[in-house]
Amino acid sequence: MRSIEDQSLLILVVAVSLAFAWILQPFYGAILWGIIAAIIFAPLCRWLAKSMRWPVLAAPITILVIIAIVILPLTMIAASLGREASNLYGKVQSGDVDFIKNAQEVLDALPAWAKDWLGRFGLADLSSMREGLTSGLVKGSQFIATQALNIGSSTFDFIIGLGVMLYLLFFLLQDGDALLGRIRTAVPLREEQKRALFSRFALVVRATVRGGILVAIAQGALGGLAFWFLGIHAPLLWAVIMAFLSLLPAIGAGLVWVPVAIYLLATGAIWQGIVLIAYGIFVIGLVDNVLRPFLVGKDTKLPDYVVLISTLGGIEVFGLHGFVIGPVIAAMFMVTWEIFSVSRLTPQAGV
């Protein structure tokens, strides 16, 4: 009889938890970033609480710091990016910027063997590329028009999501330790397993966000600075694209600056192309090798192929949020199996 009661309670817990997750689904992005921000800035909040005369002010001050160093800069960059993307789109529509013409100039400058090699893969047929680009521009204009009509609703949704995130973040910073204690009590694992799981989870989230986002920001900023110095159109737009691509190891920002360097060399801008290649290899390329190990650490660094696959899979499943969710799930997968393997080797530990 006791077993039936326990099973019924378990079913009820699972059903209610799924229902609760379902009603929170519209705000999962705000909740996700609220939790991530709480994990990352919790040490700052604790330090403020110990250093201040009124510890109750630690959480509000931490939120003000987050707004000042994260939210406001991102908002300003997004506004500038929108203007720059709109200007670039206008230049493409007017013909001032013609990517097909630029590609033709590069093809004309290539040796015969390179042209033949590209022709085998159909990459030398620029007429079909022009049709695809035209179709893409039409769809892009339709998308921009749709977004312009819905800008009021999108802004409202963004403000609501930001408000939910900050509201949740305040309580996570202020009462996070008590909430974590309740969760640890409810998790049906041995004490040393719960301690290892929760400590590694916080470590993995901090390492993934710091090692991924900060490296991406650094590479994007350095790439955008180089593009601005060389006079390339829309440097901020390309900087953002390089930042997103930098989340993918082994591919990264090179997908942007390498073709641009080739174009510069092919069109006679020899010194600009050489400078960009040297800068890309010795500055942008080395940021990942130098900065990521410092921010992530050897114990939590995932293999590059795992980061690549989990990031792409995360973006495919969760959209933009997936570039964080994917690597975190992959890291927790490996951590959980590590804990499970240790528990299999020492099943009586901590009992």
Give the pLDDT of the chain (351 residues) as one tens digit per residue: 467 777 788 888 889 988 988 998 888 888 888 888 888 888 888 898 888 888 888 889 999 999 998 888 888 877 777 777 677 666 666 666 555 566 666 666 666 665 565 566 555 555 555 555 555 555 554 554 455 444 444 567 778 888 889 999 999 888 877 887 787 787 777 777 777 777 777 777 777 777 777 888 888 889 889 988 888 877 888 888 888 888 776 667 888 888 888 878 777 778 888 888 898 888 888 877 777 666 665 555 667 777 778 888 888 888 778 877 888 888 788 878 877 787 777 655 444
Last residue of a domain, one of 154, 186, 218: 186
**Domain annotation covers residue 179:** yes
Q: At what angle do helices 191-209 and 285-296 cross, to 10 degrees?
A: 150
**Greatest CA separation for the chain:** 84
The DSSP secondary-structure symbol of 124 reads T
Model pTM? Answer: 0.68
The reply to whether 180 and 101 lie within a common domain is yes
Domain that holds residue 211: 189-343
In this structure, the answer to whether residues 106 and 209 fall within a common structural domain is no
**Within this chain, do residues 168 and 216 fall inside the same structural domain, yes or no?**
no
Q: Evaluate whether residue 16 is within a structural domain.
A: no
Is there a domain that residue 349 lies in? no
- Burial of 111-128, coded b for 16+ CB within 10 Å and e otherwise, reads eeeeeeeeeeeeebeeee
Question: Could you tell me if 303 and 335 lie in one domain?
Answer: yes
In a domain, 277, yes or no: yes
**Per-position DSSP letters for 246-268, written without gaps between them:** TTSTTTTTHHHHHHHHHHHHHTT
Domain closes at, from 144, 170, 186: 186
The answer to the question of residue 17 being in a domain is no
Q: How far apart are CA 133 and CA 278, in angstroms?
A: 31
Last residue of a domain, one of 140, 160, 186: 186
Q: What is the 3-state secondary structure (H, E, C) of 175-236?
A: HHHHHHHHHHHHCCCCHHHHHHHHHHHHHHHHHHHHHHHHHHHHHHHHHHHHHHHHCCCCHH
Number of domains making up the chain: 2
Same domain as 264, residue 236 = yes
Instruction: Specify whether 159 is located in the same domain as 224.
Output: no
Q: Are 155 and 304 in the same domain?
A: no
Helix (H) or strand (E) holding 244: helix 235-245
Q: Are residues 132 and 214 in the same domain?
A: no
Q: Are residues 175 and 28 in the same domain?
A: yes
